[in-house]
Amino acid sequence: MRIAILGGTGDFGRGLAVRLVSLREDEVVIGSRDAARAQQAATELGAAAGAANDEAVRGADLAVLAVKAEGALETARATGAALGETPLLCVASALSFAKDGVRPDPEGRSLAERVQDLVAAPVAAGLHSIAASNLGVDAPDEDAFVCGDDARAKELALELAAKLVAGRALDAGPLASARTLEGMTAVIVNLNRRYRGHAGIRITGLP
């Protein structure tokens, strides 16, 4: 599979690329607003190529929107035409930071749903419970969650998710479930801050 990581020069994008490149199963392309930075990161990480985001998505089987939450909508809008019908996995969570803790986005709809409004491509959402610091050559001992309304986009996203964790890639339902998955990120960040750890999630009781 050819996977384009939009925002591949950021922490989560780089961690994702490191994991995928180490497996040597997929062709990984690093995308960035700055083509030179993307190419530099691709060289450092051993990815197949680096390019500006709208070039990175061309010919991809799956694109991963790995930019920070504040840049997700802008990036989706800017790359939508080049993306076309290529499935897009949105991994960002919009969070609000305060002295007493981290809160989920007060917006009623998820960031992934708002991304879907901007692109013709089918959008899946997932990986929100995986910290960038947990991504790397070794798979973290946790499960990964993916949701979406398009069967093909969800299938590809689940295939990707299964490569990232030692646990399972789990189908969490329709794209509307991203509202809960994105909010889960706030819970995990609060736990990590409180207990100075790198929390992940495991689901029990499933066959």
Phi-psi domain of 169 (left: phi exceeds 0; alpha: psi -120 through 50; beta: other): beta
Positions of E strands within the chain: 2-6, 27-32, 49-52, 62-65, 88-90, 95-98, 101-104, 123-126, 144-148, 169-171
Domains parsed from the chain with CATH numbers: 2-195 (3.40.50.720)
Instruction: Please measure the distance between the N-terminal and C-terminal CA atoms of the chain and give it in whole angstroms.
Output: 28
* Strand (E) or helix (H) holding 23: helix 11-23
146, 90 in Cβ contact below 8 A? no
**pLDDT of 201:** 96
> pLDDT tens digit string along 27-75?
999 999 999 999 999 999 999 999 999 999 999 999 999 999 999 999 9
For residue 30, give Cα distances in angstroms to 13, 27, 66, 189: 8, 10, 10, 26
Q: Higher-confidence residue: 207 or 60? A: 60
Confidence of residue 108 (pLDDT cuts 50, 70, 90): confident
Over range 132-161, report the average pLDDT: 96
Confidence of residue 107 (pLDDT cuts 50, 70, 90): confident
| Mean pLDDT over the full length of the chain | 96
> pLDDT tens digit string along 147-181?
999 999 999 999 999 999 999 999 999 999 999 99
Q: What is the DSSP letter of 139?
A: P
Please say if the pLDDT value at position 135 is more than 90. yes
Please say if the pLDDT value at position 134 is more than 90. yes
Confidence of residue 106 (pLDDT cuts 50, 70, 90): confident
- The tokens of 177 are what? 């479930």
In one-letter notation, the amino acid at residue 7 is G
Over range 82-99, report the average pLDDT: 95
For tokens 């990984």, what's the residue? 28
d(CA 126, CA 59): 22
Over range 10-27, report the average pLDDT: 97
